[in-house]
Amino acid sequence: MTALLEFSQVSKAFGGVLAVDELSFTLDRGELVGLIGPNGAGKTTVFNLASGVQRLSRGEVLFRGVKISATSPTRIARSGIARTFQNIRLFRSLTVLEHVLVAQSCRSASLLTQMLPFASATDRTLRRQALAVLEVFGLADRRDELAVHLPYGGQRRLEIARAIATAPELLLLDEPAAGLNDSETAELSGILETLRAQGYTILLVEHDMNLVMRLCSRILVLNFGRLIASGTPAEVRGSQEVIDAYLGVAD
Amino acid sequence: MFEQQVINGITLGSTYALVAIGYTLVLGVLNKLNLAHGELFMVGAFTGIAVARLGAPLPVSLVAAFAVSGLVAVAIERSCFYPLRNASFLSPMLSTIAFGILLQNLVSQFFGSDPSRFPDTGSSFQLTLGTLTVSAIHIVILATAFGLMIGIDLLIRKTRWGIAVRATSDDAETAAQQGMHPSRVTMTTFFVSGALAGVAGMLTTLVYSQVTPHIGIRQGLIGMVAMVIGGLGNLRGAMIGGLAIGLVETMNDAYFSAGYRDLVIFAIFFAFLIVKPEGLFPAHHSR
Amino acid sequence: MNIYLEGVLAAMGINILLALSARAILATDRLSLGNAGFMAIGAYVSAYLTVSLGWDLYPAIAVGGSAAAAIGLLVGLPVLRLQGIYFVMGTLAFGEVVRTFFQNFEPTGGAYGMRGMFGTTLTMIYVFVAAFLVLFLALGRSRLGYVADALHDDDEAARSIGINVDLLRLLAFAWGGLIAGIAGALFAHYALYIESGNFNFLVSANAVLFVILGGVQTVWGAILGAVIFSLLPEGLRFLADWRLSAYGVILVGLMILRPEGILTRAMLRRLAGFFVRKP
Ligand SMILES: Nc1ncnc2c1ncn2[C@@H]1O[C@H](COP(=O)(O)OP(=O)(O)O)[C@@H](O)[C@H]1O
Ligand SMILES: [Mg+2]
């Protein structure tokens, strides 16, 4: 069976800087894999390449065995890859609930059905589903507030909720625990476990090593755009190269 | 006579270049459009006329146009750009349109909406080189415009002020951190930008003896075209762009049809934006 | 109704349509300074149809508007690849190309302009205003309303959830073209005489000013802006020849004092708590 996501010899250059350098890896369905590495290692760039925001310089990205490295971000999102952003990017003028609604509709709805009045029957179903999503993320009781008024942790969770609402198969999470306090991190950890149990495939970029080591079945370690190690948390923790490059400098 | 057209084209183009330089300087420093820039040309033209009517000699008119347009440009900066420095680039742009309406109306109050003319300079001197004739007026225009172009080029490349302007254009934040006073750099840039446009306006009235308070719109647009052709933020590119349009315009009038002049220029403008938006000479700093 | 008042109201109605046209494009986070070009296309195409081909007014308006929308699609494809200042200049260039084209195009009078159009009534203008307003409000309450908000707020995040940002921008551009084209057709058959100078860059700029100063967040802001700034120069008539100066000063001042426009969403929500969904 083909891997869900495959990076094959992928490089991405910014001027002279190789942000990603001959990177190859695969993700299988249902895996929760960590992607770690020091700042500037190229993790966000990997996400940008997988979601089509940036074009790779060399190599190929395959999703379900199909090449997506020349596909538009819109198409990639519709085909089942959803992402969050390291620096939160919520919609300034939308409420919490509207974030989920807008993400739901874009998957399949044609332009014409989108122009139907908001109160149509299908919308009531979608609304119910949207509320269910917000329930999972602990945001249901703030559904009518503007998203930008949520506390930081709430905004991080809403980013994931919005991604989930597109009904993806693969979820790319860019530092979802960054800036969260302990209780918020615990809450996030619970959510990630739920998502894993629900069968989402997740690629997790995160600096919180406790979180990564505990949740991930496999970890990929990047440094200067190159994969310097990969394996189970125990294997990665034991690798001298990783300790030198990363763990030594992280907190 | 082809050579004659070239001289005429370069003369006209040199005034366009002065307008384009100012446009591109401001755009470089702020990354915003001053849509009242053409009005500074108009203000310069009328300042020159007013001073000449008082009987002052030509150089005095030139200096007056330089100073008044420069100061009006600073006023534009203070009222349209500085208060809106944190807003989107669209807000100051729209403000400058309103400021332009104000300037047009003010000038109409003093000069009327009908064409005004520059008092006769009384010079009938002509330089004849073979089949070419170059009038004194052309020489004044060419000398002033090219003198200013060389001057501004030196200022930008060699002086502390020029370094500050270039640094701010490359990266305003870093420049400010290194102690360059952003507000002062911006104001002086506006002054220079307005002064050059004002001189261009004053020079133009010498040839096209008639001007109205509404000439600024076209001049501003032409300056923008020249700037785009030369590459946004590129000083020398703007000069070349201005000269190129001057040549296109005179050649069009001579060999094609004067009626199509603006259609040709704006079609070139549109084509550049679609096919080569970075212009002929992209500025080194990409933004 | 006295002729002066009727003229002011007609101009106001046309301005409202132009403001709606500018807003259609602004709603996708792009500012067009070329809508006068669309207006010119609608005006000249419809005028040619009624004057030279003897068409009835309504089909001529429809074709004029559609021609502007079609040009919007065609021009939008390359121009919408531009961003920021470049997009603004691209639309400005488009508007100027259209204007200078009609200045030279003999079949529609060239530099002499065109006359012989008639038939637009005040009622007709405001029927179109009402119809477009209803459409805007309906779209604002539809799912497309959120989608437009999302792509306006954050282009990249919108793409990441599958919103077809480029297609929507193109359609919005053509939609803006349609409205301005219809405004142009109505204008041509009201003014009785048109020339290319009627469609200069300041017309495009004014349309955008109405929206920004009225308030860009809601469609009511566009309408309020068009109403206020159509009436303001009339209200300033006591200043005689100075009124455009005063107009300029007021615009610059307003931009400083209320950069988000007169009417904001928050204000509208407070004004009308019964609005489930902002328009
Ligand atoms: N858009 C860009 N332009 C230029 N350089 C970039 C860009 N994005 C990332 N880089 C560079 O690529 C490298 C990897 O960045 P990034 O993927 O953001 O790292 P990480 O997410 O691991 O911290 C860094 O050196 C960064 O400066
Ligand atoms: Mg990163």
- The answer, yes or no, to whether residue B106 has pLDDT greater than 90, is yes
pLDDT at A241 over 80: no
CA dist., res. A53 & res. A58, Å (int): 15
Give the CA distances from residue C51 to residues B26, C30, C179, in Å, rounded to whole numbers and listed in that order. 47, 36, 22
pLDDT, tens digit, 9 for 90 and up, residues A5-24: 999 999 999 988 999 999 99
Two tokens at C266? 């928050």
On whether the CB atoms of residues C125 and C186 are closer than 8 A, the answer is yes
Contact C191, C198 (CB under 8 A): yes
- The boundaries of the domain holding residue B76 are 2-285
CA angle C38, C41, C47 (to 5 degrees): 140
Can you give the CATH number for the domain in which C118 is found? 1.10.3470.10
- What is the predicted pLDDT for the residue at B137? 85
Helix (H) or strand (E) holding C95: helix C84-104
The Cα B149–Cα C154 span in angstroms is 42
Q: d(Cα B152, Cα A175) in Å, to the nearest integer?
A: 49
Please report the pLDDT score of residue C79 as a whole number.
97
Q: How far apart are CA B179 and CA B189, in angstroms?
A: 17
Measured by CA distance, the residue closest to atom 27 of ligand 1 is A40
In-domain check, residue C148: yes
Render pLDDT for A182-237 as a digit per residue (tens, 0 to 9): 999 999 999 999 999 999 999 999 999 999 999 999 999 999 999 999 999 989 88
CA distance C246 to chain A (A): 34
Q: Is C96 on the interface with B (CB under 8 A)?
A: yes
The 10s digit of each residue's pLDDT in B50-86 is: 999 998 899 999 999 999 999 999 999 999 999 999 8
What pLDDT score was predicted for residue C126? 98
**Three-state DSSP state, B195:** helix
CATH of the domain at B40: 1.10.3470
Q: Which chains touch A (3 or more CB pairs under 8 A)?
A: C
Q: Does A152 touch chain C (CB under 8 A)?
A: no
Q: Three-class SS of residue C113?
A: coil
Number of domains composing chain C = 1
Which 3 state secondary structure label does DSSP give B90? helix
Binned at pLDDT 50, 70 and 90, residue B121 comes out as low
Average pLDDT on B217-246 reads 95
Q: Is A39 in the pocket of ligand 1 (CB under 6 A)?
A: yes
In this structure, which long-range contacts are made by residues B51-54, counting pairs with CB atoms below 8 Å and at least 24 apart in sequence? B52/B118, B52/B119, B53/B119
* Mean pLDDT (whole number) for B102-122: 85
User: Which of C81, C139, C146, C277 to probe the A interface (max A CBs under 10 A)?
Assistant: C146
Rounded Cα distance, B172 and B57, in Å? 41
Q: Which residue from A82, A92, A163 is facing C153, i.e. has the nearest CB?
A: A92
- Residue A194 CA to residue A188 CA, distance in Å, equals 10
Q: Which residue has the higher pLDDT, A37 or C141?
A: A37
* B135: enclosing H helix or E strand: strand B132-135
Task: At C31, list the tokens.
Answer: 């500012």
User: Tell me, what's the pLDDT at B285?
Assistant: 47
Nearest to B50, CA basis, from B109, B105, B94: B109
Q: For each of the domains in chain A, give its residue range(s) and CATH number, in order of start.
A: 14-80+168-251 (3.40.50.300), 89-166 (no CATH)
- On whether any CB of chain C is under 8 Å from the CB of A82, the answer is yes
**CA quadruple B176, B178, B184, B187: dihedral sign:** negative
* Cα separation, B119 vs B205, whole angstroms: 10
Task: Please give the pLDDT value at position B258.
Answer: 87
Please count the structural domains in chain B.
1
Average per-residue pLDDT for chain B: 90
Decide if A89 and C156 are in contact by the 8 Å CB cutoff: yes
Mutate to test the interface with A, among C135, C143, C165, C217 (most CBs of A within 10 A): C143
Q: Is A249 in the pocket of ligand 1 (CB under 6 A)?
A: no
Share of chain A above pLDDT 90, in %: 78
Instruction: Report if residue C144 sits inside a domain.
Output: yes
Q: State the nearest Cα–Cα gap between C147 and chain A, in angstroms.
A: 6
Residue B18 has pLDDT above 90, yes or no: yes
- List residues of chain C with CB under 8 Å from any CB of chain A: 138-139, 141-147, 149-150, 152-154, 156-167, 171, 217, 265, 277
Indicate the pLDDT class of residue A109, thresholds 50, 70 and 90: low
pLDDT at A105: 74
Banded model confidence at residue B286, pLDDT cuts 50, 70, 90: very low
Mean pLDDT per 10-residue run, chain C (279 residues)?
90 98 95 97 98 96 98 97 95 97 94 92 97 92 87 94 93 97 98 95 94 91 94 81 87 88 81 55
Which residue of chain A has the CA closest to C167?
Answer: A111
Locate the chain C residue with the closest alpha carbon to A148. Answer: C153
The verdict on residue C275 lying in a domain is no
DSSP for chain A, please give it.
---SEEEEEEEEEETTEEEEEEEEEEE-TT-EEEEE-STTSSHHHHHHHHTTSS--SEEEEEETTEE-TTS-HHHHHHHTEEE--SS----TT-BHHHHHHHHHHHHH--HHHHTS-TTSHHHHHHHHHHHHHHHHTT-GGGTTSBGGGS-HHHHHHHHHHHHHHT--SEEEEESTTTT--HHHHHHHHHHHHHHHHTT-EEEEE-S-HHHHHHH-SEEEEEETTEEEEEE-HHHHHH-HHHIIIIITT--
Q: Closest to C89 (Cβ–Cβ): which among B97, B105, B273?
A: B273
Q: Is residue C266 part of a domain?
A: no
What pLDDT was estimated at residue C279?
43
Instruction: Note residues around ion ligand 2 (Cβ under 5 angstroms).
Output: A 44, 86
Residue C86: give the domain boundaries.
3-200
Of A72, A102, A123, nearest to C147 by CB-CB distance is: A102
Determine the pLDDT at residue A115.
Answer: 65
At A91, list the tokens. 């919609």
Residues of B with CB under 8 A from a CB of C: 27, 31-33, 35, 79-80, 83-84, 87, 89-91, 93-95, 97-106, 108-109, 217, 221, 224-225, 228, 232, 259-260, 262-263, 266-267, 269-270, 273-274, 277
pLDDT for A250: 47
Contacts A–C by Cβ distance under 8 A: 99
Rg (CA), chain C: 18
- Tokens for B9, please give them: 């084209």
Strands A32-36 and A201-205: parallel
Note whether C94 and C35 are within 8 A (CB): no
